[in-house]
Structure 1
Amino acid sequence: MKVVIVSDTHIAKKEAELPVRLMEELPSAELIIHAGDWNIPEVYDQLESFAPVHGVYGNVDGIEIQELVPDKQIIDVKGFKIGIVHGHGEKKTTEKRVVEAFAEDNADIIVFGHSHIPLLRYFKKQLLFNPGSPTAKRKLPYYSFGIMTFNEETFEAKHIFY
């Protein structure tokens, strides 16, 4: 099962397009995860035209997005528990906030955003995965998003940089 993972798309205009490199991967996705900061619900609609979408809202998302997706959720993909949260808040690092958000949930994977910094690392037994941003790289050299591939026993996670 192929899962495309995005966060921090920050698309504020209905006529704005998702990046070409991301659009190349979406037709083969079986599931899409968005870790917040969509800006407008049309991004959800566009992603959903390719595959089912699970997501959360971020700190820049208004009421339209907040009514569409929760602030935190856990989904099951091929027996792996995936926690999804944006990661914003006060004090502590984004990583510490997301780990604490799922401290009682035994998530195998935590997908988050907010920092726009791509990350793939383990903290104890949980994989922490931030896809970065496909539209707002800030001071980083590349835009990015993620792809996870699952089967019944294993998964593989990677970033796509462009």
Structure 2
Amino acid sequence: MKIGIVADTHMPARAKRPPSALMKGLEGVDRILHAGDWTELEVLYWLEELAPVDGVAGNNDGDDIERQFGRQKIIEAGGYRFGLVHGDGYRSTPENAWAAFFAAKPEIIIFGHSHVPYKEQRGETLLFNPGSPTDKRRQPQFSYGIIELGEQGIDAKHYYYDSKE
């Protein structure tokens, strides 16, 4: 199973459409997970053209997005449990994400908020932030992630590009 991981699209403020590198990179995924700060539901409709989408709301999302997705959840895919949260709060973003699912102990925790690509294995749990496909802030490139689940386990990678056009 191949899962596209996206967060912090901040559309339309940061881009009018999803970047072509993102859309091309997500072609062929079985599912897409969005870790919040969509800012407009139109992002959902574009991503749904590629695969089924699930996600959570972030601190910049309105009530409509929060009602539809909630702020935190655990989903199952490919025999693994994913904790999905935006990651905003009073600690560092990875620590907020870790604390959100500390008791549940999913195999994978997906988060956003910082716009910084992040990958860390903590015991049996992978923490993964895809970065942002439209707002790289101080990062050298825009980014998203792909997680492949199979007999060999979990393979999580970041993908980078220079233009959000």
Whether TM-score is above 0.5 comes out as yes
- What is the alpha-carbon distance in structure 2 between the residues aligned to residue 97 and residue 144 of structure 1? 21
The aligned residue for residue 78 of structure 1 is: 78
- One-letter amino acid matched to 2:36: G
- Deviation of 1:2 after TM superposition, in Å, equals 1.1
- Deviation of 1:26 after TM superposition, in Å, equals 2.6
The aligned residue for residue 60 of structure 1 is: 60
The aligned residue for residue 107 of structure 1 is: 106
Secondary structure of the structure 1 residue equivalent to 2:69 = coil
Q: Which ranges of structure 2 fall in alignment gaps of 5 or more residues?
A: none
Secondary structure of the structure 2 residue equivalent to 1:37 = coil
Within a 5 Å distance, the mapping from 1:10-159 to structure 2 comes to: 10-12=10-12, 16-90=16-90, 92-152=91-151, 154-159=153-158
1:12–1:40 Cα contact (<8 Å) kept: yes
- One-letter amino acid matched to 1:77: A
Q: Percent identity?
A: 44
Which moves more between the two structures, 71-80 or 36-45?
71-80
Secondary structure of the structure 1 residue equivalent to 2:26 = helix
- Deviation of 1:12 after TM superposition, in Å, equals 2.3
- One-letter amino acid matched to 2:79: G
- One-letter amino acid matched to 1:100: A
Secondary structure of the structure 2 residue equivalent to 1:149 = strand
Q: How big is the alpha-carbon RMSD for the aligned residues of Structure 1 and Structure 2?
A: 1.4
Q: Deviations over 1:104-140 (max 9, x none)?
A: 1120010000000000111222100000000000011
- What is the alpha-carbon distance in structure 2 between the residues aligned to residue 66 and residue 149 of structure 1? 27
- One-letter amino acid matched to 1:45: Y
Q: How many residues align?
A: 160
- What is the alpha-carbon distance in structure 1 between the residues aligned to residue 151 and residue 81 of structure 2? 13
- What is the alpha-carbon distance in structure 2 between the residues aligned to residue 123 and residue 156 of structure 1? 15
Q: Which ranges of structure 1 fall in alignment gaps of 5 or more residues?
A: none
- One-letter amino acid matched to 1:131: P
1:78–1:152 Cα contact (<8 Å) kept: no
- What is the alpha-carbon distance in structure 2 between the residues aligned to residue 109 and residue 88 of structure 1? 18
Off by >2 Å, runs of 4+ in structure 1: none
- What is the alpha-carbon distance in structure 2 between the residues aligned to residue 77 and residue 63 of structure 1? 27
1:6–1:35 Cα contact (<8 Å) kept: yes
